[in-house]
Amino acid sequence: METEFIQHLRKSLGSHDRLRIGLGDDAAILDWRDRDDLVVTTDLISDEIDFRLAEVDPRRVGRKALAVNLSDLAAMGAEPVAVVVSLLLPRTPPVGTALELAVQLYDGMLPLVEQFDCILAGGDTNSWSGPLAINVTAFGSCSDQPLLRRGAAPGDVILVTGELGGSILGHHFDFTPRIAEARRLTRLGLAQVGMDISDGLLLDLSRLLNESEVAGVLDLTSIPISDAAHRLSETSGRTPLEHALADGEDFELLLTASPEHAQQIVADDLLGTPVTAIGKIVAGAGMWADQVGGKKLEPQGYLHQ
């Protein structure tokens, strides 16, 4: 299967001027001579944990596998350069053959590869009697100050892009990584602290606060709640706000910025994407609703076992 699959990929991917050696050799060789700092991230998703292959188009699964890694690059303010993909394929997929499944997974990735001018440089395939697992390693470059989880200071404003909650209704497959928004922020020097919201707003914010050794106060009335969160709340027994705070897989940017920069980002629509101020950084530890000494907010979200 591997030889046939490589031949298919060669026809699908074409060539790229930054890829000196690609598919067919033991490793890829990238031209990095005009690049700045190398940023590397890797993420693995699998059937029954991150999706249900029997219930979803494999192309959406492939897209998600790549998109979550591009979101990690966005969280660092990095520009995507290349990715390698490893597939652990079920010998008997729900539909079709293992080769057909592999082709569909890559077909889901290719539009994102083109959108972000990213090289799909290679990877590996194998098959077994268990469920599908996909591991992507993404490489990016960072020519400006990267976004880090540490460095938030009392007085800074807490910001989020987009809307939160209800991602299980489809957003976790179809989101667009906030690469362009993060790159614009770092180029303009408007934010140095940030991450993406993958495991839930409260859980991820708690990680940022811990790394920066500060506390956060959230204005819960300002949290941007998605329509999907409202729809999900009709049957879940949880409020739309609870979904927005803890569902996870929003893949939006969580940022802090000075009051002046925050006002500029929000008021001038600098990112071309809605950005909402949802709170502020204060001295101390923990997360609070409305004011320190008010309701303490506990980290909630998806904890990887």
How does pLDDT run across 252-294, given as a tens digit for each residue? 999 999 999 999 999 877 788 999 999 999 999 999 998 777 7
Stronger pLDDT, 37 or 237, i.e. the higher one = 237
pLDDT of residue 15: 60
Buried b / exposed e across 125-138, counting CB within 10 Å, b at 16+?
A: bebeeebbbbbbbb
Q: Is 39 exposed, middle or buried (0-12, 13-18, 19+ CB in 10 A)?
A: buried
DSSP string, 59-90: HHHHHHHHHHHHHHHHHTTPEEEEEEEEEEEE
pLDDT of residue 5: 57
Question: Is 107 labelled a binding residue?
Answer: no
2-142 sits in which CATH class?
alpha beta
pLDDT of residue 9: 57
| Phi, psi (rounded to 5 degrees) for 92 | -125, 85
Question: Is 174 labelled a binding residue?
Answer: no
Instruction: State the residue for tokens 């949880």.
Output: 238
Stronger pLDDT, 305 or 29, i.e. the higher one = 29
In single-letter form, the type of residue at position 125 comes to T
Question: Is 25 labelled a binding residue?
Answer: no
Does 24 have pLDDT greater than 70?
no
pLDDT of residue 100: 95
Q: How many CB atoms lie within 10 A of CB 282?
A: 19
Buried b / exposed e across 226-258, counting CB within 10 Å, b at 16+?
A: bebbeebbeeeeeebbbbbbbbbbbbbbbbbbe
pLDDT of residue 302: 78
Question: Is 137 labelled a binding residue?
Answer: no
Question: Is 247 labelled a binding residue?
Answer: no
pLDDT of residue 305: 52
Pairing of strands 286-289, 215-218: parallel
pLDDT of residue 268: 72
Question: Is 72 labelled a binding residue?
Answer: yes
Question: Is 34 labelled a binding residue?
Answer: no
pLDDT of residue 291: 78
Does 181 have pLDDT greater than 60?
yes
| Window from 26-30, 36-40, 91-95, 224-228 with minimum mean pLDDT | 26-30
Stronger pLDDT, 236 or 12, i.e. the higher one = 236
pLDDT of residue 33: 73
**Three-class SS of the chain:** CHHHHHHHHHHHHCCCCCEEECCCCCCCEECCCCCCEEEEEEEEEEECCCECHHHCCHHHHHHHHHHHHHHHHHHCCCEEEEEEEEEEEECCCCCCCHHHHHHHHHHHHHHHHHHCCCEEEEEEEEEECCCCEEEEEEEEEECCCCCECCCCCCCCEEEEECCECCHHHCHHHHCCCCHHHHHHHHHHCCCCEEEECCCCHHHHHHHHHHHHCCEEEECHHHCCECHHHHHHHHHHCCCHHHHHHHCCCCCCEEEEECHHHHHHHHHCCCCCCCEEEEEEEECCCEEEECCCCCEEECCCCCCCC
Question: Is 290 labelled a binding residue?
Answer: no
pLDDT confidence bin for 304, thresholds 50/70/90: low
Question: Is 42 labelled a binding residue?
Answer: yes
Q: For residue 216, list its beta bridge partners.
A: 281, 287
Rounded mean pLDDT of the chain? 91
pLDDT digits (tens, 9 = 90+) for 98-151: 999 999 999 999 999 999 999 898 889 999 999 999 999 999 998 888 899 999
pLDDT confidence bin for 3, thresholds 50/70/90: low
Question: Is 41 labelled a binding residue?
Answer: yes
> What is the chain's length?
305
Give the domain ranges of the chain: 2-142, 157-297
Question: Is 221 labelled a binding residue?
Answer: no
Question: Is 36 labelled a binding residue?
Answer: no
The CATH number corresponding to 157-297 among 3.40.50.1100, 3.50.50.60, 3.30.70.1450, 3.90.650.10 equals: 3.90.650.10
